[in-house]
Structure 1
Amino acid sequence: MLDDLLASLRDDDPRPALLGCRLGGRPVVRATRAELSRLSKGYAVALHARGLTAGDTIGVAVRPGPRSLAVLLAAYRLGLRIAVLDPTAGPDVVLARLALAEPRLVLADAAAQAVAGWAAPLAHRARLALPDLAALAPVVTIGRRLPGSAQSLDPGSGPVPRAYDADGDAVVIFTSGTTSSPRAVVHTRAGLSAGLRIVHDLVRVAPDRPVLGGTFFVLVPALAANAPVALPARRPAALARQSARLAPQATYLTPPHLRAALAAGMRCTGRVYSGSAPVSADLLARVRRAGADEAWGIYALTEVFPAAAVEGNAKAAYTGGGDLVGALVSGVRARTDDRGQLLLAGPNAAHRYLGAEPGGWIATGDVGRVENGQVVLGGRCKDMILRGAENIYPGLYEPALHVPGVELAVIVGVPAADGDERVVAVVQPSAGTSPDAVRAALREPLARMGAARPDAVVLADVPLSGRSRKPDRAAAARLAAGS
């Protein structure tokens, strides 16, 4: 699919590729197909000129847009491995991830560098934080520079390097683990292409009609099918106006974004897809009532994207126990282990975890079963909290809460509306330590948690269970819910 996209881009094609929106939701062309073609080739020339060759790793911290997509396409053309850097994970976690990925070069826009530097105090308020990106690898700026930014990586001119045509690692995406031992998923070029092909077949994109969505798995299949892609507006009211102006043939939004846009009065057209978090039958019904021809819930993991899909009418009609997430997509296989955990395999499954040997079946962490090719989930068996569309792994952040004056601390999820969760830290003060002193001591570690920062902190004795007296997370969640 990526090869198809690269082959379809021409330097003389004036059709729009990426769209943004102005006030009132009016669409504006952010890049034509010709501009995207020239930009991706120019970055390939520039990266090649810096000595980067197939198999090398680059770290990328660039906001969605024409330049970030062009950089990704350039890296794919050269056979480079892309390590995605998430500025919401907190500086300590990002630094550990950089050390594991060992990039030869970090590509960052001026905003990401500002978050790591002079704008850090302001960024903390938005739950963004990055370490000094140059601590482990050279840094170059993608796009416009600001004072203090690293030197720019300007698109180069001259002969474009020949496209790499073998398999190999394509992307590294970090998931769970600990600060001292991060965990990352590695997708190969073949696996990534298989996932994109499945999305293409599922969404059924027609040429020259807009698609609304901002993820890589939306951009590539739509552009490869010669359809322009509109990057969603950030504010719900603006997103609702944008959708009304565009009348997209297909839309992909996470459940939190979709709920907020519907509350702001968004009318839907064509087919609407939602995933990256639980998608309820009620949400899909609301999408249909808002005008969509079809409303789809997508079941996917970082390791397998996508895995299954269900249309809203089928989900609403299901009367069995558990949560129907739909039919397995083409090529994906599923079974359960002796604990009832759902296992997945397929052409789009991750090749391995970074630093580990290739495995077989992917353990989803979800309790589930397969009925006539349909996947039904019954809850999670791994320790993970899902807030909005963010997977939050408590083990990454709990050690930072054990500051002087804290006896024990756990981070738990408390069920909220429509499958979402609130993140609550239950903190047990040491004997003789005042609540004010504990809250003051926690201020700095909480500020460094980025998007994982708890919604609330409850000072109480952490419930224990079992002969080893380990923290009882279920009991702690009930305690947090009642506080």
Structure 2
Amino acid sequence: MASTQTAAEHLEGLPNRIHEVIDRYVDATPDRLALIDDKTSLTYRELDRSAGSVVRALQALGIRAGDRMMIVSENCIPLACLLLAASRLDAWAIVVNPRLSPREIDQIRDHSGARRAFFTADVSQEAVDHATRYGAPVQDVGPLHGIGVTALNEETSAEPVEFDGSHQVAVLIYTSGTTGTPKGVMLTHRNLLFSARGTAGWRKMTSADVQYCVLPISHIVGISLLTMTLMFGGTVRLVAKYDPAALVKAMADEGITILNGVPATYQRLLEYRRNAGLPKFDRGALRLIAVAGAPLDLELKSRVEQELGLPLLNGYGITECSPGISGVRPDSPRADHAVGTVLPGLEAKLVARNGKTVANGEVGELHVRGPNVMRGYYRAPDLTAKAIDADGWFNTGDLARFEGDCLYIVGRTKEMIIRSGFNVYPAEIEAVLSTHDAVVQCAVVGRPVEGNEEVVAFVQLIKGSKATAQDLMAHVAPQLTSYKRPSEIILLDALPATSTGKILKHKLAESLRGQG
């Protein structure tokens, strides 16, 4: 499937570097608010000046074009300034979530060969702790206060600079994905700008929009939200840590117009309203709510829509695609869990195990091609060659089907369970389990048994629930055919997850080894 617009049409007029998105607004609307965080705000003129001062400070700290610089930070104005300054310098920004463990942060530093690491110590205790561990004194970096700065890595060499924004790396995002081993995804300026413009286009974004950016900028969605809002001259409300009470206040008082979240963002918002005894939400100027990043439970979707009075627009993306692949359009909302139509200028096809393209309505592995596909994995040409073929098709590793031009994600290729010769997609079983009142979240994996695979479900229940594995089994049995029913349901206090809330299924699968 390809979108009706060609990639060339959609690339027209794009800036060459991400920092250039603010230039026209610095001239046209210099006093409009560009960024707001929990402490302060910057207009477009102030943001431009701050980024310029940060560039000079970084140069004085020995940051060169082609260097990798780590920014360990929650969402805040200093992070945005460092990101734009890195772009002006042609340095590669590696934004890292401070909630990662010391081991994970060390892995990223060592693999990337970062020239220096910067920690926004004024924003979170976690950043302070990492800065202390690295012996990084807290100082000013130009106009930015409270930044921990590590010693200069004299051993590292700079990468070559590419004039063309389709080759020059803007950000290096480390993703553990579902495998547990971090890979550095090289995203170019054009990757980010193309994806951001495509998503903003179908959301009909304008300079009047105030984007509530609670998804971390250390994750591709956060970077994309920041870029698209500045690209259209709007305002980004940067949120360091999610607090449903603060979101309720921002809807009522701060004029936010767009909210993006993962399913848990909305789940916690509804729980807060119930626990705080609020009669109903005051949605203020909010005009668009979107969700991505994890399978969407239809019951949650309908409750959110009922309470906020807006359609919850499901979307699908992947770090390696900067991230946009598809989304439900505001002008054609859906009641099911479809992830919408493919981004303008992007091609998509579904491939069967034998390599042949599958027919409409059938399940296949999703491959995509377009200007948002990453340059590759850093220092891993073998992994890049496995992911992107000679014709530029990127294998997402996700199983999907098209109904007309509408895309549905049914699971991960690696997660597919073959039970007595039948293909079983964990997402389907998880969706059924999630309809039980006591289930907070669940994950389904395969367990090898002699000559076959069994279906095993891990479930986290609401605190204080008396539900048993037998109750859950009785709930799902009438809704699933025999080969899809779990052989075992295991109750856990919490499911292992990444800092962005993605469940680590490989850890659950490992816990079953040798049990079959």
Per the shorter chain, which TM-score range? 0.5 to 0.7
Question: C-alpha distance in 2, partners of 1:216/1:151?
Answer: 24
**Distance (whole Å) between structure 1 residues aligned to residue 370 and residue 120 of structure 2:** 35
Which segment drifts farther, 236-245 or 277-286? 277-286
Q: Note closer, same or farther for the CA distance 1:198–1:152 as it changes in structure 2 (3 Å cut).
A: farther
Instruction: Confirm or deny: 8 A CA contact 1:94 1:131 kept in the other structure.
Output: no
2: CA distance, partners of 1:180 / 1:415: 21
Q: 2:328 is matched with which residue? A: 310
Give me the whole-angstrom Cα distance separating, in 2, the residues matched to 1:292 and 1:262. Answer: 13
Deviates more, 1:262-271 or 1:96-105: 262-271
Deviations along 1:168-212, whole A, 9 cap, x unmatched? 111111112799963121111211111121122122222234222
Amino acid at match of 2:36: L
Counterpart secondary structure, 1:290: helix
Contact 1:61 1:112 in 2 (8 A): no
| Gaps in structure 2 of 5+ consecutive residues | 1-14, 153-161, 215-221, 274-280, 354-363, 417-425, 431-440, 446-455, 463-494
1:382 partner SS: helix
**TM-score, length-normalised on structure 2?**
0.63
Q: Does 1:82 align with 2:93?
A: yes
User: Residues 100, 198 of structure 1: CA spacing in aligned structure 2 closer, same or farther, 3 A cutoff?
Assistant: same
**8 Å CA contact 2:185, 2:376 repeated in 1:** yes
Higher mean Cα deviation, 341-350 or 206-215?
206-215
Equivalent residue in structure 1 for 2:272, among 264, 271, 289? 264
Secondary structure of the 1:343 match is: strand
Structural mapping, 1:80-479, within 5 Å: 80-110=91-121, 115=126, 119=129, 132-133=133-134, 143-145=144-146, 149-150=148-149, 166=165, 167-176=167-176, 182-214=182-214, 215-232=222-239, 234-265=242-273, 266-268=281-283, 269-304=286-321, 305-311=323-329, 316-318=334-336, 323-339=337-353, 340-357=364-381, 358=384, 359-360=388-389, 361-382=393-414, 414-415=458-459, 463-464=512-513
Structure 1 partner of 2:4: none
The answer for the alignment partner of 2:490 in structure 1 is none
| 8 Å CA contact retained: 2:35, 2:77 | yes
Q: Deviation per CA, 1:389-434, whole angstroms, max 9, x where unpaired?
A: x9x9x9xxxxxxxxxxxxxxxxx9725589xxxxxxxxxxxxxxxx
Give the AA of the match of 2:146.
Answer: R
Distance 1:177 1:225 in 2: 31
Structure 1 pair 272–182 and aligned structure 2 pair: CA distance change class (3 A): closer
- CA deviations on 1:51-91 (whole Å, 9 max, x unpaired) are 43322211111221111101101111111111222333322
From the superposition, tell whether residues 316 and 462 of structure 1 become closer, same or farther in structure 2 (CA, over 3 Å): same
* Cα drift, residue 224 of structure 1: 2.5
**Which amino acid in structure 1 is aligned with residue 395 of structure 2?**
A
CA distance in 2, matches of 1:290, 1:51: 52
CA contact (8 A) 2:55 2:85 kept: yes
What letter is aligned with 2:231? A
From 14, 18, 26, the equivalent of 1:10 is 26
Overall identity of the aligned pairs, in %: 24
Q: Look up the match of 1:64.
A: 75
- The offset of 1:14, in angstroms, is 2.6
Picking from 50, 60, 63, the partner of 1:39 is 50
Shift of 1:317: 4.5
CA offset at residue 327 of structure 1?
Answer: 0.7
- Greater mean alpha carbon deviation, residues 247-256 or residues 343-352: 247-256
Q: Distance in 1 between matches of 2:180 and 2:261?
A: 33
Whole-Å separation in 1 of the counterparts to 2:36 and 2:233? 13
TM-score, length-scaled by structure 1? 0.67
Residue 227 of structure 1: how far off its partner (Å): 1.6
Partner-residue secondary structure (3-state), 1:286: helix
Q: Which structure 1 segments of 5+ residues have no match?
A: 22-27, 120-128, 154-162, 395-411, 419-445, 465-469, 473-483
CA contact (8 A) 1:79 1:164 kept: no
Tell me how far 1:297 sits from its aligned partner: 1.0
Q: What is the number of residues matched between the two proteins?
A: 383
Contact 2:348/2:368, CA 8 A, preserved across alignment: yes
Q: How far apart, CA to CA, are the structure 2 residues paired with 1:354 and 1:45?
A: 27
